């Protein structure tokens, strides 16, 4: 009763009920891939909850502390306050190790979910108009997630994270002209500085999370405001969304996913060890450890630094150190390409239409080839970050491993990208429904496909303006058209004798009906068939029809008699000529 009155009072003042009803009635697609963004969201919630707990015990300071705790090898040692509090949190605080490892695993899953979500968006074309802003916000969130993950990884001040922070500082200092000033400004002095850990702490728990919360809110608001994208299928068009309503079915499913994500994260935090800082020891600028690899989402940078030769050059009298290209240029070019890709693809295809139906990756071979090549390139960089481990396992020289990986990182992306391009083109131009059904003839046909000549401008423009024709999922599907009196109707049939979906509007001509069917089911063949036979009228309908015909005949007869009487009466009036 109290809650009901409170809700009514708030609604009387803010008028939220229409907005709430509209939001609860919003339809979301049922495909599993749309849950990847929610996994990232729920991992971020777990990060916030566990992070709040950790801030009660972590001391963000570089001041000297004497550790006294349950971990005997460090008992009585003088370390930084940050490192001592991290070890104490892991060994002496109730549930401290569980929460710390769950927090670390949540960060790993958070970045992984964002990456996989962006991969799905890239290969399905979900970044096209009107969702370019969603893509830009998503890439920005990935950048901030990488930065926040690295700052959190560096705060414990252990030997492994200290080495990684020293590498990042060296990469920043390699930027010509301004690099040394940027590093000095960020750290508050020469590395390692007393202000280093406090600034990392403020950035990790306040600045970056605040921006992430704002971007997540903007991203969710745009998803709610815009029509949700969906994969092509029966009954799905550019003008509707087929799926589950937000309340109650989608809400219950989303809450179940949230419970699963939190349960898996806590299971990983309790059962799988990660970042045991007590084994690494406190950071010392004069010491190093091997093997040393950071978390997977920044391992590619370590691999690039290991693979790139120690080349230095001078531009305009300024030295460009060797870490600049692998540490700054590669990552900068990659994220710049991610930001610019929606606009570059639109410039190439000249496609300015709004798209609410997603593509299958096979339908865009160029996008498929570029994406697979980029993923292969970064996968090789991640492998290269473990060159010392590979050399030890294979019992070969680490320089031999580096020589092989330097060739692989240049050749393998070209091979995988070209192969993905050819396979996608073979699937889009052939009759195979799946990758396993491709034949040599399909691959030869894909290899021989050429663009139209440059002189045929009109034909090329027409092909750009026409909607894309995706490959058919089922060979038997078709659009059936038939005349019904003075109008034309159409229906979609997934197989001969299979399920038929009737178009809800009639068209005045065959061409209008074909255009409506093409908009709803692009790429499906059309055929004209006899219309469904008319049902014989029932007894009640026959009696009503005869009665209506009789009433119409009587009314026509009465109207004719009245008109005849009016003419006679008019002709009998004196002084008036007969009509």
Extract the residue ranges of the chain whose pLDDT is less than 50.
Answer: 451-473, 577-579
State how far the alpha carbon of 189 is from the alpha carbons of 181, 193, 489, in Å: 10, 6, 76
175 and 242 in one domain? Answer: yes
**Residues forming a β-bridge with 318:** 315
Give the torsion sign (CA, 176, 180, 181, 182). Answer: positive
Q: Which residue has the tokens 């252990």?
A: 158
| Confidence at residue 510, expressed as pLDDT on a 0 to 100 scale | 81
278 and 394 in one domain? Answer: no
333 and 236 in one domain? Answer: yes
Cis? peptide before 291, omega within 30° of 0? yes
| Confidence at residue 239, expressed as pLDDT on a 0 to 100 scale | 82
Instruction: Give the chain's domain count.
Output: 3
33 and 121 in one domain? Answer: yes
491 and 374 in one domain? Answer: no
356 inside domain: no
* 16 φψ region: left (φ > 0), alpha (ψ -120 to 50), beta (else): alpha
505 inside domain: yes
C-alpha to C-alpha distance for 567 and 496, rounded to whole angstroms: 65
C-alpha to C-alpha distance for 447 and 293, rounded to whole angstroms: 42
332 and 242 in one domain? Answer: yes
Chain centre to alpha carbon of residue 275 = 29
Burial class (CB in 10 A: 0-12, 13-18, 19+), 557: exposed
385 and 319 in one domain? Answer: no
Structure tokens, 456: 């045929």
559 inside domain: no
| Confidence at residue 473, expressed as pLDDT on a 0 to 100 scale | 47
Go through the chain and tell me how many residues it has.
579
Measured in degrees and rounded to the nearest 5, phi and psi for residue 27 equal -100, 135
180 and 131 in one domain? Answer: yes
388 and 440 in one domain? Answer: yes
146 inside domain: yes
Residues with Cβ within 8 Å of residue 500, at least 6 apart in sequence: 480, 491, 492, 493
174 and 100 in one domain? Answer: yes
| Confidence at residue 13, expressed as pLDDT on a 0 to 100 scale | 78
485 inside domain: yes
Q: What count of other Cβ atoms lies within 10 Å of the Cβ of residue 472?
A: 15
Cis? peptide before 130, omega within 30° of 0? yes
C-alpha to C-alpha distance for 48 and 55, rounded to whole angstroms: 11
Residues with Cβ within 8 Å of residue 390, at least 6 apart in sequence: 383, 401
Find the angle CA(337)-CA(340)-CA(345) to the nearest 5 degrees: 105
Q: Which residue has the tokens 């306050």?
A: 81
51 inside domain: yes
DSSP assignment string, 32-50: GGGGHHHHHHHHHHHHHHH
365 and 486 in one domain? Answer: no
449 and 482 in one domain? Answer: no
Q: How many contiguous H segments (helices) and E segments (strands) does the chain have?
A: 22, 10
Range(s) of the domain holding residue 440:
361-461
Considering the entire predicted model, what is its pTM? 0.76
**Residues forming a β-bridge with 282:** 158
Tell how strand 500-502 and strand 318-320 pair up: unpaired
558 inside domain: no
C-alpha to C-alpha distance for 80 and 317, rounded to whole angstroms: 41
**Residues forming a β-bridge with 490:** 481
Residues with Cβ within 8 Å of residue 312, at least 6 apart in sequence: 319, 320, 321, 322
1 inside domain: no
C-alpha to C-alpha distance for 99 and 77, rounded to whole angstroms: 25
């Amino acid at each position: 009763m109290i809650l009901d009155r409170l809700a009514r009072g708030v609604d009387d003042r803010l008028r939220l009920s229409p907005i709430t009803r509209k939001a609860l009635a919003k339809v979301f697609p049922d495909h599993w891939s749309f849950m990847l963004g929610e996994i990232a969201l729920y991992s971020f919630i777990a990060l916030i909850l566990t992070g709040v707990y950790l801030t009660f015990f972590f001391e963000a300071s570089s001041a000297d502390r004497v550790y006294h705790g349950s971990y005997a090898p460090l008992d009585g040692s003088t370390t930084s306050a940050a490192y001592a509090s991290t070890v104490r949190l892991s060994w002496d605080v109730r549930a401290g190790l569980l929460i710390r490892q769950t927090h670390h695993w949540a960060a790993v899953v958070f970045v992984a979910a964002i990456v996989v979500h962006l991969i799905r968006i890239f290969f399905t074309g979900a970044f096209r108009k009107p969702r370019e802003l969603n893509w830009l916000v998503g890439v920005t969130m990935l950048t901030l997630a990488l930065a926040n993950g690295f700052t959190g990884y560096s705060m414990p001040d252990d030997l492994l994270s200290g080495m990684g922070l020293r590498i990042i500082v060296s990469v920043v200092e390699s930027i010509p002209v301004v690099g040394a000033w940027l590093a000095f400004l960020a750290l508050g002095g020469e590395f390692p500085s007393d202000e280093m850990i406090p600034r990392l702490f403020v950035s990790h728990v306040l600045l970056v999370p605040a921006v992430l919360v704002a971007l997540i809110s903007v991203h969710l608001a745009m998803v709610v405001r815009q029509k949700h994208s969906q994969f092509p299928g029966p009954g799905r068009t550019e003008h509707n969304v087929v799926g589950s309503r937000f309340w109650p079915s989608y809400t219950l499913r989303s809450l179940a996913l949230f419970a699963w994500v939190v349960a898996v994260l806590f299971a990983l935090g309790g059962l799988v060890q990660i970042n045991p800082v007590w084994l690494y020891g406190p950071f010392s600028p004069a010491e190093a450890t091997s093997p040393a690899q950071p978390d997977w989402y920044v391992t590619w940078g370590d691999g690039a630094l290991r693979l790139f030769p120690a080349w230095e050059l001078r531009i305009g009298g300024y030295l460009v150190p060797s870490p600049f290209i692998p540490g700054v240029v590669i990552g900068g070019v990659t994220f710049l390409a991610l930001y610019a890709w929606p606009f570059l693809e639109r410039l190439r295809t000249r496609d300015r239409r709004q798209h609410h139906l997603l593509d299958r990756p096979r339908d865009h071979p160029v996008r498929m080839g570029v994406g697979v090549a980029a993923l292969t390139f970064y996968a090789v960089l991640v492998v290269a970050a473990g060159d010392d481990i590979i050399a030890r396992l294979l019992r070969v020289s680490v320089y031999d491993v580096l020589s092989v990986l330097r060739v692989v990182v240049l050749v393998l992306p070209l091979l995988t990208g070209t192969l993905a391009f050819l396979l996608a083109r073979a699937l889009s131009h052939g009759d195979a429904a799946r990758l396993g059904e491709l034949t040599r003839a399909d691959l030869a046909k894909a290899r021989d496909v050429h663009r139209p000549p440059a002189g045929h401008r009109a034909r090329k423009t027409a092909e750009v303006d026409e909607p894309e024709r995706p490959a058919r999922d089922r060979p038997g599907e078709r659009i059936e058209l038939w005349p019904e009196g003075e109008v034309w109707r159409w229906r979609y049939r997934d197989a001969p004798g299979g399920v038929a979906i009737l178009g809800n509007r009639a068209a005045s001509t065959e061409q209008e009906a074909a255009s409506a069917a093409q908009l709803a089911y692009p790429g499906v063949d059309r055929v004209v068939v006899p219309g469904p036979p008319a049902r014989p009228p029932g007894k009640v309908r026959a009696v009503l029809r005869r009665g209506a015909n009789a009433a119409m005949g009587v009314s026509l007869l009465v109207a004719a008699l009245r008109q005849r009487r009016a003419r006679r009466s008019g002709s009998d009036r004196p002084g008036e000529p007969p009509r």
